[in-house]
């Protein structure tokens, strides 16, 4: 049977199945090429694990939470500053020193996530994880691109041939063009995951090794188990601290509506207090003394109207 002799709807069904097969092959080949045994990495480094799981932002969140818990940073509502007695060299890890540098003056926790100057701090993590085959290195990225290009060529050639046939017979080809574009976009999206297969498996292994922390976390008190807290945040995410004695941690990175919606939103009646009380930078912190319980919480959860009214 020659598929190019199929009529419109039948060919579209064939092309749909063909696309699935091509995308499936791309994924399968990637899974096979990027799998492997467990590598030897420092599983006691929460920042390495956080970086593996969620990249730079996650590593920074864990660093901030850990430093706050150890009393090296002071959280005042959503504003964070370095504790008076703390110097940068009191922290042992470069990422912690970099974060301490940033908070010489009080700032919002989310600000650290936007700082481009921190890039060099992450290079060792990136290199380590690439060497271990957990993040794609240059060769892996090229291999992924090659597989995608072969797949795109297959999808493109088949559809182009049929489009040419359709055009010569003055038949509509719009659906096929759309289907080809969707298949190529889907193939591209599935070709470049952040982690390799080995990286994904290792992250699952790490989550399992530290699964005991899920039950332990509620027995810890702030400042009493900083290593465990940092590891919990690294493995399960800062967001997972929400229902624990460390619930305050999530608030540290919740940006104000004034920042999220920028100037246009803060100019509206709903967000007017954000821009009016202190020029739009830190209305909650300044108007209510920075307490997250009475002002900060209202701003993050209930809208800036509550903040302005306090």
Partner 1 sequence: MKFRSAGENTIRDRVGLGWRRELAVGILSHLDRIDIVEVIADDLFDAPRRERRALRALSAQTTVVLHGVSLGLASSVPVETKLLEKTARLCEEVNPEYWSEHLAFVRGGGVEIGHLTAPPRTDATIEGAASNLERARAVVGSAPLVENIATLIDPPGSDYDEIDWVKGIMDLAPCGLLLDLHNLHANATNFGYDEIEFLKRVPAERIGAVHLAGGKWVEALGERRLLDDHLHDVPDTVYRLLAELAAVVPHPLTVILERDGDYPPIEVLLRQLDRAREALAEGRLRQFERIEKEAA
User: What residues line the site for partner 1 (CB under 8 A)?
Assistant: 37-41, 43-44, 201-202, 204-206, 208-213, 216, 227-228, 231
Structure tokens at 151: 């797949």
Q: Which is nearer to partner 1, 97 or 200 (CB)?
A: 200
Minimum distance, C-beta of residue 201 to partner 1, in the bound complex (Å): 8
Minimum distance, C-beta of residue 219 to partner 1, in the bound complex (Å): 10
Q: Which is nearer to partner 1, 69 or 251 (CB)?
A: 69
Q: Which is nearer to partner 1, 220 or 271 (CB)?
A: 220
Minimum distance, C-beta of residue 242 to partner 1, in the bound complex (Å): 20
Q: Which is nearer to partner 1, 39 or 156 (CB)?
A: 39
Q: Which is nearer to partner 1, 227 or 242 (CB)?
A: 227
Minimum distance, C-beta of residue 179 to partner 1, in the bound complex (Å): 37
Minimum distance, C-beta of residue 167 to partner 1, in the bound complex (Å): 52
SS (H, E, C) the chain: CCHHHCCHHHHHHHHHHHHHHHHHHHHHHHHHHCCCCCCCCCCCCHHHHHHHHHCHHHHHHHHHHHHHHCCCEEEECCEEEECCCCCHHHCCCHHHHHHHHHCCCCEEHHHHHHCHHHHHHHHHHHHHHHHCCCCCCHHHHHHHHHHHHHHHHHHHHHHHHHHHHHHHCCCCCHHHHHHHHHHHHHHHHHHCCCCCHHHHHHHHHHHHHCCCHHHHHHHCCCCCCHHHHHHHHHHHCHHHHCCCCCCHHHHCCCCCHHHHCHHHHHCCCCCHHHHHHHCCCCHHHHHCCCCHHHHHHHHHHHCHHHHHHC
Q: Which is nearer to partner 1, 142 or 209 (CB)?
A: 209
Minimum distance, C-beta of residue 211 to partner 1, in the bound complex (Å): 7
């Amino acid at each position: 049977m020659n598929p190019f002799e199929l009529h419109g709807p039948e060919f579209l069904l064939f092309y749909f199945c063909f696309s699935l097969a091509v995308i499936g092959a791309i994924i399968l080949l990637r899974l096979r090429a990027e799998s492997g045994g467990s590598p030897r990495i420092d599983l006691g480094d929460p920042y390495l694990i956080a970086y593996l799981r969620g990249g730079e932002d996650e590593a920074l969140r864990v660093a901030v939470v850990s430093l706050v818990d150890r009393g090296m940073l002071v959280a005042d509502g959503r504003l964070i500053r370095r504790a008076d007695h703390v110097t940068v060299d009191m922290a042992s890890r470069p990422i912690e020193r970099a974060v301490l540098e940033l908070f010489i003056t009080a700032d919002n926790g989310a600000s650290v996530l936007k700082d481009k100057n921190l890039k060099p701090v992450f290079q060792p993590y990136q290199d380590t994880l690439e060497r271990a085959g957990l993040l794609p290195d240059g060769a892996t990225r090229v291999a992924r691109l090659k597989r995608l290009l072969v797949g795109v060529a297959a999808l493109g050639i088949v559809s182009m041939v049929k489009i040419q046939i359709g055009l010569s017979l003055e038949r509509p080809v719009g659906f096929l063009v759309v289907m080809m574009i969707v298949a190529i976009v889907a193939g591209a999206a599935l070709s470049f995951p952040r982690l390799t297969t080995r990286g994904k498996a290792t992250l699952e292994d790490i989550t399992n090794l530290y699964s005991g922390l899920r039950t332990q976390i509620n027995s810890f008190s702030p400042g009493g188990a900083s290593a465990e807290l940092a590891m919990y945040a690294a493995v399960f995410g800062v967001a997972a601290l929400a229902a624990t004695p460390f619930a305050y941690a999530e608030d540290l990175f919740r940006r104000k509506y004034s920042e999220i919606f920028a100037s246009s939103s803060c100019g509206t009646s709903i967000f007017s207090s954000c821009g009016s009380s202190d020029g739009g930078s830190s209305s909650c912190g300044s108007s209510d003394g920075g307490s997250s319980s009475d002002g900060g919480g209202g701003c993050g959860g209930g809208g800036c109207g509550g903040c302005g009214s306090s």
